[in-house]
Structure 1
Amino acid sequence: MAESLLLPLVRGVASKAAGTLVETVTRMCGLDDDRRTLERQLLAIECKLANAEERSETNCYVESWMKELKSVAYEADDVLDDFQYEALRRQSKIGKSTTRKVLGYITHRSPLLFRFEMSKKLKNILEKINRLVEEMNKFGLENSVHREEQQHPWRQTHSKLDNSTKIFGRYDDKEVVVKSLLDQQEEQKVQVLPIFGMGGLGKTTLAKMVYNDQGVQQHFQLKMWYCVADNFDAIALLKSIIQLAQNKRCEMSDTIELLQKQLEEVIGQKRFILVLDDVWNEDERSWEDVLKPLLCSLGGLGSVIVVTTRSQKVASIMQTLRPHKLACLSEQDSWELFAQKAYSNGVEQEQAELVSIGRRIVNKCRGLPLALKTMGGLLSSYQQVQEWKAVEENNIGDNVRGTDEIMSILKLSYRHLSSEMKQCFAFLAVFPKDCEMDKDILIQLWIANGFIQEKGTMDLTQRGEFIFDELVWRSFLQDKQEFRQHLSIGSYVSINCKMHDLMHDLAKDVTDECASIEELTQQKALLKDVCHMQMSDTELKPISGLCKDRTYLRTLLACSESHKDFKALLQIQYASYITCKH
């Protein structure tokens, strides 16, 4: 499925080849014929790529050809970037003295040397493209009828997104869990209540409802929320809980004994609630021998830990109270959740047949909230009966009860995204799970990577905001929150969001261009095919071996300034770097 992003890549490179900046410089260098040939060849490939993608599922030769095409497309993109940079550099030199212009002919920026070097690079790219076109013509591929992707106006702007947070069918669950927690007020030992169920059921949503319940907020003196995900390390967990209890970041020891003493000091005899969200670790010894003695010997009477997990084994290991198993939504709740998304534009009242189709699709979703929201968000983009029928007839399964079945629904919704949205969504795989993503930074990264183009009266930023809102509406992004930031020069509103872990899995599945340093190190893989990389505080020396051969790295997300010399280490000529904290 990773190759589905090749079409927008080729389309983007062809568009760049036709751009004014590139055309201006290639004409000045006498290379415009080669540029036009490159553009034509890319357009010829673009016409048959959709059919090639279908054939690649059963033909390994076509699949190999597509991988080679992707590599060459990135090479061409780099060469065209050089032309664009040269055009901008020459524009900036306008008005400089004659002496400096003359000196330019004998320096490393000499136009003569630039023309010689770029001629070789462009001809090398053309040779590869021509060879790929010759191979493509032997496949007997059919031209794809290119239709302009339908642009759907944003339905209800931000107010509709606020309405989408309405929760269906979980209030009874909330009351049961809240009562169970408040009933522990005389217990001396910390009690552990797991909430478990398959992915996409809304375990985290239920935990948030409980955590923010007015009675819970008043009952507990100290409230802490920590997303565990893949990190069940005792030291990292203790440090995070200490910082949550103090409500500030601080330097701490890596010794468990010292961390335990510090934890006892900050919690004392306060009655606390700690939510450990998304626990995966099924190693009983990690809990029984290490974390349980540390966490369950703290706090005042009635302190509790709430655990959310997909694993019944995790629930049985950590429980002291009977686990709360989350069930699927009822038929009525399922319909209301789906209808809120799917019929937001009022077509429900206009076409009864759409309601009938919607009912059948809801039955296939089997009460899974994430599946219902995703399908509802997808269908809200369509108003014609035949479009709804086409979605219904896709193989989304008649018995959605496991993660694989949910993923099939998510993939179906992904396939109906525009090319721009596919690229923007797949790029999110570079972020770690449960990472809070800043809307403005995301849009800047999308623009910098050339994923979005101006449409009509929308500039790039407005287009990026439209895509962000559409991904939120369709549940590819979730937990959208607004924060007012106060600076010395004034205040502004920042917007953060997260991804459901199943959506993160989907993003990883649809692209092989995003990776973290840790993943590459574990897999002993090189950076050759990676375009977007995330790194933490890993030392640079152990990963220097990843940098062999040519790479096409375009994005580097680093946690700290300590990695500002990473570009020098990689020695990559064409990579463009965007470094941010997350």
Structure 2
Amino acid sequence: MGQFVYTIAENVMNGLASYAYQEICLAWGVTDELNKLKDTFSSIKLVILDAEEKQRKELRLSQWLGKLKDVCYDVDDMLNDFAFKELQMQMLILRGRGSIKEQVRIFFSGWNPVVFNFKMGHRIKEIRERLDVIAIEKSQFPLVERAGDWQSQSVPTERETHSFVQAYDVIGREDDKKQIIIHILNLTLKEKSRDVQENVSVISITGLGGIGKTTLVKLVYNDHRVVKHFDMRMWVCVSDHFDNKRLVREIVASATNQNCGDQESFDRVQKKLQSALKDKQFLLVLDDVWDKGQIGVTTAKWIDLKALLNVGANGSKVIVTTRSESVASIMDSVCVHQLRGLPHESCMSLFIKRAFDRKGEEQRYPHLMEIAHGIAKKCEGVPLAVTTMGSLLCLKREKHFWSEVRDNDIWRLPQGNDDILPALKLSYDALSSYLKPCFAICSLFPKDYVFRSRFSVVVDGTRLHSIL
């Protein structure tokens, strides 16, 4: 409930402190009351960041933040009413050019300043009483005053699925890469040496989210031996919706570098696919495959798609990345490579690469490197978590910032073996306050949704498209 209270409170404080609102309040004679409101808000706002972080373990704190959020919205509405009434009054007077007739009409209307001041006075008093109660309740919690700290930094955590990779950016996956390439080449030789009815075989790479499955496949996909071995290579991001119509169109686009027309029938698209693949030894990557009921991959869906792919030459390969071992089974994989976490040494190398701009810079900060070992250990070998933490601290060199990340309570939450949420939650906490609501808005869209250039959503005055 209290996730964005700091953002809302900050907007309210900016409104109360703005010159325009001060002028309006002076005109309506409510300056003293709103100043008192602002002072109370200021004292509460200092502990909101700490409260938002601690609410995970304290239900009463979450409820307290909920009350504060309601008051923030009411104050924001009240400030908007003041601005609207002021503008309306100016328009009425301007329209009547200040005539006696118009002024008398305004006096006996709902816009009478005396009546409005009386109503708004009671409204401010009611809000102040609620806010005073919230301020008193604040003392029931062991909250620490914070002015933003390391959480004020924004962190780029963008992840896309495509075939390009900078090999020098990848650490600790050379052995896995060799194993996959050996599987590809050896399986091809074995298949050619015997009579195999199906020309296409599947290799699945399984592992938890963030472990580096997509990155590993990129390394294999771009290896010079693989490039030389296959006549054609294609890359398609599947995601949680295994839709053969969409996948066939995207495979054709990847194979021919030409998009299928929107009006083309599925039958015509299938023929294009078979024409592109016929008698060619190809490598197809199906990245991020799920088995979420009927929308995910099923045996029937895979049989239909594989029948279309089987026109390729013997030795063609499909590499599948998935979190689910059942996907590997459904797709009848001839080889399943389970990707494990990175060893601690590789985690440290990756963390250092992300946390320090220049090579060797970490040697200047031995006190930070001691803390870095603790952070890397808590990431439990997951590259995404290590990268996120390193990026989070790349602009910080103060010891207390690093210690706060290492000692944060989020690491102590109960979690499964495949849970990397603590590291990602710390990254979320580090977003600027105005970006957090935008991040939440993004969660309303389906996975792999493509944002159009004209798309725009306004959240608390911030346009979502400005951060995409």
What is the TM-score of this pair, normalised by structure 2? Answer: 0.74
On the 8 A contact 2:150/2:401 being kept in 1, the answer is no
Aligned counterpart, 2:170: 167
The correspondence of residues 365-514 of structure 1 with structure 2, limited to 5 A, is 365-394=379-408, 396=411, 402-404=417-419, 406-417=420-431, 419-420=433-434, 422=436, 425-435=439-449, 449-450=460-461
One-letter amino acid of the counterpart of residue 327, structure 1: R
User: What SS is found at the alignment partner of 1:308?
Assistant: strand
Q: Distance in 2 between matches of 1:329 and 1:52?
A: 34
On the 8 A contact 2:203/2:336 being kept in 1, the answer is yes
Aligned counterpart, 1:325: 338
Shift of 1:329: 1.9
Relative contact order (C-alpha < 8 Å, sep 6+): which is higher? 2
User: What SS is found at the alignment partner of 2:4?
Assistant: helix
One-letter amino acid of the counterpart of residue 149, structure 1: D
The change in CA–CA distance for 1:21 and 1:239 in structure 2 (over 3 A counts) is farther
Q: Distance in 2 between matches of 1:251 and 1:56?
A: 49
Please tell me whether Structure 1 or Structure 2 has the larger radius of gyration of its CA atoms: 2
Shift of 1:137: 1.5
Shift of 1:28: 3.7
Q: Distance in 1 between matches of 2:87 and 2:76?
A: 17
The change in CA–CA distance for 1:139 and 1:397 in structure 2 (over 3 A counts) is closer
The change in CA–CA distance for 1:347 and 1:356 in structure 2 (over 3 A counts) is same
Shift of 1:413: 4.2
Shift of 1:374: 2.2
Runs of at least 5 residues in structure 2 that lack an aligned partner in the other structure: 156-164
The change in CA–CA distance for 1:204 and 1:436 in structure 2 (over 3 A counts) is farther
Aligned counterpart, 2:145: 145
On the 8 A contact 2:152/2:431 being kept in 1, the answer is no
Query: Residue 299 of structure 2 is aligned with which of 288, 307, 327?
Result: 288
On the 8 A contact 2:291/2:326 being kept in 1, the answer is no
Q: Distance in 1 between matches of 2:457 and 2:438?
A: 9
On the 8 A contact 1:69/1:132 being kept in 2, the answer is yes
The superposition leaves residues 313-332 of structure 1 with CA deviations (integer Å, 9 ceiling, x where unpaired) of 21122133211221222343
Query: Residue 297 of structure 1 is aligned with which of 292, 303, 308?
Result: 308
Q: Which moved more, 1:316-325 or 1:20-29?
A: 20-29
Q: Which moved more, 1:411-420 or 1:358-367?
A: 411-420
The change in CA–CA distance for 1:130 and 1:423 in structure 2 (over 3 A counts) is same
The change in CA–CA distance for 1:32 and 1:389 in structure 2 (over 3 A counts) is closer
The change in CA–CA distance for 1:291 and 1:258 in structure 2 (over 3 A counts) is farther
Q: Distance in 1 between matches of 2:118 and 2:322?
A: 58
Matched, 1:205 2:219: no
Q: Distance in 2 between matches of 1:52 and 1:398?
A: 17
The superposition leaves residues 294-345 of structure 1 with CA deviations (integer Å, 9 ceiling, x where unpaired) of 3343342133222110111211221332112212223432221111123436
One-letter amino acid of the counterpart of residue 434, structure 1: D
On the 8 A contact 1:341/1:376 being kept in 2, the answer is yes
User: What SS is found at the alignment partner of 1:273?
Assistant: strand
The change in CA–CA distance for 1:332 and 1:66 in structure 2 (over 3 A counts) is closer
The change in CA–CA distance for 1:29 and 1:272 in structure 2 (over 3 A counts) is farther
On the 8 A contact 2:152/2:433 being kept in 1, the answer is no
Matched, 1:275 2:285: yes
Query: Residue 238 of structure 1 is aligned with which of 236, 248, 260?
Result: 248
Q: Distance in 2 between matches of 1:303 and 1:118?
A: 79
The change in CA–CA distance for 1:19 and 1:262 in structure 2 (over 3 A counts) is same
On the 8 A contact 1:178/1:216 being kept in 2, the answer is yes
One-letter amino acid of the counterpart of residue 8, structure 1: T
Runs of at least 5 residues in structure 1 that lack an aligned partner in the other structure: 156-161, 452-554, 556-577
Matched, 1:354 2:368: yes
The correspondence of residues 118-157 of structure 1 with structure 2, limited to 5 A, is 124=123, 127-128=126-127, 130-138=129-137, 140-141=139-140, 144-147=144-147, 149=149
The change in CA–CA distance for 1:36 and 1:432 in structure 2 (over 3 A counts) is farther
The superposition leaves residues 502-559 of structure 1 with CA deviations (integer Å, 9 ceiling, x where unpaired) of xxxxxxxxxxxxxxxxxxxxxxxxxxxxxxxxxxxxxxxxxxxxxxxxxxxxx7xxxx
Q: Distance in 1 between matches of 2:414 and 2:355?
A: 21
The correspondence of residues 174-253 of structure 1 with structure 2, limited to 5 A, is 174-182=177-185, 184=188, 186=192, 189-245=199-255, 247-248=258-259, 250-252=261-263
Aligned counterpart, 1:315: 328
Q: Which moved more, 1:118-127 or 1:75-84?
A: 118-127
What is the TM-score of this pair, normalised by structure 1? Answer: 0.61
Aligned Cα root-mean-square deviation (Å): 4.7
User: What SS is found at the alignment partner of 2:149?
Assistant: coil
Q: Distance in 2 between matches of 1:154 and 1:90?
A: 42
Aligned counterpart, 2:161: none
Aligned counterpart, 2:351: 338
The change in CA–CA distance for 1:436 and 1:297 in structure 2 (over 3 A counts) is closer
The superposition leaves residues 41-99 of structure 1 with CA deviations (integer Å, 9 ceiling, x where unpaired) of 432432453565577556545433422332342343345456567889999x9xxx966
Shift of 1:194: 1.0
The change in CA–CA distance for 1:389 and 1:350 in structure 2 (over 3 A counts) is same
On the 8 A contact 1:364/1:400 being kept in 2, the answer is no
On the 8 A contact 2:288/2:321 being kept in 1, the answer is yes
On the 8 A contact 1:280/1:310 being kept in 2, the answer is yes
Instruction: Provide the aligned length of Structure 1 versus Structure 2.
Output: 439
The superposition leaves residues 243-285 of structure 1 with CA deviations (integer Å, 9 ceiling, x where unpaired) of 54452252247x8667645543565554443222111216699
